[in-house]
């Protein structure tokens, strides 16, 4: 079909369509095109297919007007275009249906209009980051607020302060990613700051406490937490106040270079050097030192028990004090403990650093605990026939960490074994007797780490050895030599190449000190240089041949058997008519502690040559003991010539 034929066919159809429109407009009751009456349209006619159905007519019937018609002939229309229009025209046989659908409502919010002010472009006082907070401050202002820009520069936010200026222009803001918060964030930041400010004011108001009443104040002062706090902190303050500034030298040079021009060590001739004195006007005046002990956990702590104060009847009869030798200028004790009966013996518990034990004149054994704020005992034994009823003169803790006991003796002749955690009654009790003769014990010691074998001293002047368990439990051997009550007893506990554990020393009211061996019934040697009662004797814990003695004239002697067995290495008498009752070595052997009848403890430093024994000191002591044995045999021969001749004849016959 040519183009002219196609064009002629289209004109015929358009003429026919125009004729149909004119006929429709001439019909009566036609509705206005702007308001088509949809209900008047026959649904059957719409649904029935018509061959001559024209799309424009159908659209016009439903109220949709067609745009201005194209001219009858258009030279620009090509056959391809006409064919495409024909393809887009819907086929005539499609049935159209009109129905009503529910309308859907869509709410589109209006675009938020965000405005900014200079209040947004501010920072917190003291900060240098303009984005840190949107709070307004007077020290921030625009540098072009009061004068126009003449250089064409962008507006800048200038930080005005007394020391520096920080500004950001638009380019730098974009480069560091600086953005302005919206108005909602600004309000939130302001509200948060107000809340913080209110909380700060409330916190300051809460710091202002109301004044306590007298009842409230007394209740706090008497409470256990406050008493514990006050007791602990008062000791710390006391140490700080009384400690000499030179006690802790932060510039001390331990290399020894600072000692080149000055020798701070004692000379060899200066055996001892006075360190300090422990005395308290309230607690120790008019009292006698009855016992001394040192702590294995804290070697600087010194425990001392005291007798009753005859000058003051309203004070406690028994007093036990713990002194601290580390702080030389501190005049007060670390702990003060009281008891109804005066304390005759005391001891630290080896395996409980907070437990202090005491034996009393009444026969009770009391227990104090440094963890509590009480000065009175936390435990005490009962006065009954199963325990002690006479003065307890000696206490010793034996055993190991997992299995240990407290052993006590009294001069009624009874030895008791106790569990420190349960002191209601003794676990074991044994009457001390030698061949049916009761023994009034005054001193007791377990050699080394022994838990079964023991040595005791008696009022009769005899020493005894025995065991707690076994077939021969009780006293087994007797050592006669003294003519007065034994006041001191000490075993040799220095370990070395030669075993000297059988050796022990005794002191007595007969003005003598004797050296014994458990293997010999007679003393190996007698040291008789004192002119009055010898009150105590102690082996050195570190040197095999050194021991210490004291007497009631205020004299104390340091002996070195390897140096001289007849005269002491050092003999010193205290001034002031003082009677020394007790003496003790520190665990490291570097100090000696002396207790007197005026309630004073004196500490002396010992020269290091007595604390650092040489290897040959053990051999020298062994040779010295052999000399003692030969001298004993010679003295026995001089006193018994008949027995000596008989022994010589027997030897010759053999």
How does pLDDT run across 217-254, given as a tens digit for each residue?
A: 888 888 888 888 887 787 777 777 766 554 555 554 45
- Give the list of residues 6+ apart from residue 578 with CB closer than 8 angstroms, or none: 554, 596, 597, 598, 600
Element at 142 (helix H, strand E): strand 140-142
Tokens coding 632: 């004993």
Tokens coding 6: 């196609």
Q: How far is residue 450 from each of residues 14, 395, 418, 456, 595, measured CA to CA in Å?
A: 138, 15, 16, 14, 28
- Give the list of residues 6+ apart from residue 627 with CB closer than 8 angstroms, or none: 565
Fold of the 278-637 domain: Methylamine Dehydrogenase; Chain H (2.130.10)
pLDDT number for residue 102: 66
> How far apart are the C-alpha atoms of 455 and 441, rounded to whole Å?
10
pLDDT number for residue 516: 93
For the chain, what are the domain ranges? 278-637
> How far apart are the C-alpha atoms of 98 and 244, rounded to whole Å?
112
Residue with tokens 């004790």: 333
Spatial CA neighbour of 129 closest among 176, 175, 170 = 176
Contact between 17 and 52 (Cβ < 8 Å): no
Q: How far is residue 483 from each of residues 55, 459, 506, 532, 643, measured CA to CA in Å?
A: 152, 10, 12, 13, 25
How does pLDDT run across 477-528, given as a tens digit for each residue?
A: 999 999 999 999 999 999 888 999 999 999 999 999 999 999 998 999 999 9
Task: Indicate the average pLDDT of the chain.
Answer: 77
pLDDT number for residue 376: 92
Characterize the bridge pairing of strands 503-508 and 486-491: antiparallel
- E strands in 267-376: 272-278, 289-294, 301-306, 318-324, 335-339, 343-348, 355-360, 365-369
Spatial CA neighbour of 61 closest among 90, 88, 31 = 31
Element at 194 (helix H, strand E): helix 183-207
pLDDT number for residue 88: 53
pLDDT number for residue 530: 92
> How far apart are the C-alpha atoms of 217 and 230, rounded to whole Å?
14
Residues of the chain short of pLDDT 50, as ranges, are 30-49, 68-77, 79-82, 84-87, 120-168, 172-178, 180, 246, 252-253, 255-268, 642-654
pLDDT number for residue 212: 82
> How far apart are the C-alpha atoms of 70 and 276, rounded to whole Å?
131
């Amino acid at each position: 079909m040519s183009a002219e034929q196609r064009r002629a066919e289209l004109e015929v159809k358009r003429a026919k369509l125009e004729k149909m429109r004119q006929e429709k407009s001439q019909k009566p009751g036609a509705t206005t095109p702007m308001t088509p009456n949809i209900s008047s349209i026959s649904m059957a006619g719409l649904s029935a297919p018509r061959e001559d159905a024209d799309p424009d007519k159908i659209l016009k019937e439903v109220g949709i007007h067609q745009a201005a018609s194209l001219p009858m002939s258009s030279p620009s229309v090509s056959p391809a275009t006409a064919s495409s229009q024909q393809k887009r025209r819907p086929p005539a046989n499609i049935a159209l249906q009109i129905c009503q659908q529910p309308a859907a409502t869509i709410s589109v919010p209006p675009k938020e209009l965000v405005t900014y002010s200079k209040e947004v472009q501010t920072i917190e006082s003291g900060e240098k980051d303009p984005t840190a907070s949107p709070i307004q401050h007077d020290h921030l202002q625009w540098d072009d607020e009061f004068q126009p820009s003449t250089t064409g520069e962008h507006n800048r936010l200038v930080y005005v302060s007394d020391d520096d200026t920080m500004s950001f222009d638009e380019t730098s803001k974009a480069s560091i990613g600086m953005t302005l918060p919206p108005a909602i964030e600004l309000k939130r930041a302001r509200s948060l700051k107000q809340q913080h400010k209110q909380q700060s004011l409330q916190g300051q108001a809460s710091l202002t406490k109301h004044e306590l009443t007298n009842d409230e104040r007394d209740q706090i002062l008497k409470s256990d937490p406050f008493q514990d706090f006050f007791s602990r902190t008062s000791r710390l303050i006391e140490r700080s106040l009384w400690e000499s500034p030179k006690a802790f030298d932060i510039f001390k040079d331990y290399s020894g270079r600072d000692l080149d021009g000055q020798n701070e060590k004692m000379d060899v001739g200066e055996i001892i050097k006075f360190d300090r004195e422990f005395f308290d006007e309230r607690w120790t005046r008019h009292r006698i030192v009855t016992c001394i002990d040192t702590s294995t956990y804290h070697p600087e702590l010194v425990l001392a028990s005291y007798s009753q104060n005859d000058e003051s009847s309203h004070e406690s009869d028994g007093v036990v004090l713990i002194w601290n030798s580390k702080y030389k200028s501190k005049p007060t004790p670390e702990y003060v403990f009281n008891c109804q009966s005066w304390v005759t013996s005391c001891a630290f518990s080896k395996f409980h650093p907070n437990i202090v034990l005491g034996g009393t004149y009444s026969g009770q054994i009391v227990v104090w605990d440094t963890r509590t704020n009480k000065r009175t005992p936390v435990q005490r034994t009962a006065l009954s026939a199963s325990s002690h009823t006479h003065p307890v003169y000696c206490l010793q803790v034996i055993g190991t960490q997992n299995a240990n006991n407290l052993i006590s003796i009294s001069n009624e002749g009874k030895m008791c074994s106790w569990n420190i955690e349960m002191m209601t009654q003794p676990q074991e009790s044994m009457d001390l007797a030698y061949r049916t003769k009761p023994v009034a014990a005054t001193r007791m010691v377990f050699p080394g780490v022994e838990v079964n074998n023991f040595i005791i001293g008696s009022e009769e002047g005899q020493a005894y050895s025995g065991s707690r368990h076994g077939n021969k439990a009780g006293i087994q051997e007797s050592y006669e030599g003294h003519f007065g009550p034994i006041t001191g007893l000490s075993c040799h506990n220095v370990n070395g190449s030669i075993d000297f554990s059988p050796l022990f020393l005794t002191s007595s009211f007969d003005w003598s000190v004797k050296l014994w061996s458990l293997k010999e019934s007679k003393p190996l040697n007698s040291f008789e240089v004192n002119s009055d009662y010898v009150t105590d004797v102690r082996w050195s814990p570190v040197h095999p041949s050194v021991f210490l003695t004291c007497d009631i004239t205020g004299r104390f002697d340091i002996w070195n058997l390897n140096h001289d067995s007849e005269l002491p290495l050092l003999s010193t008498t205290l001034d002031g008519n003082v009677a020394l009752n007790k003496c003790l070595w520190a665990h490291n052997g570097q100090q000696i502690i002396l207790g007197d009848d005026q309630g004073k403890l004196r500490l002396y430093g010992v020269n290091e040559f007595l604390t650092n024994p040489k290897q040959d000191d053990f051999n020298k002591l062994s040779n010295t003991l052999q000399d003692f044995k030969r001298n004993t045999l010679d003295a026995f021969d001089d006193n018994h010539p008949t027995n000596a001749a008989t022994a010589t004849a027997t030897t010759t016959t053999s």
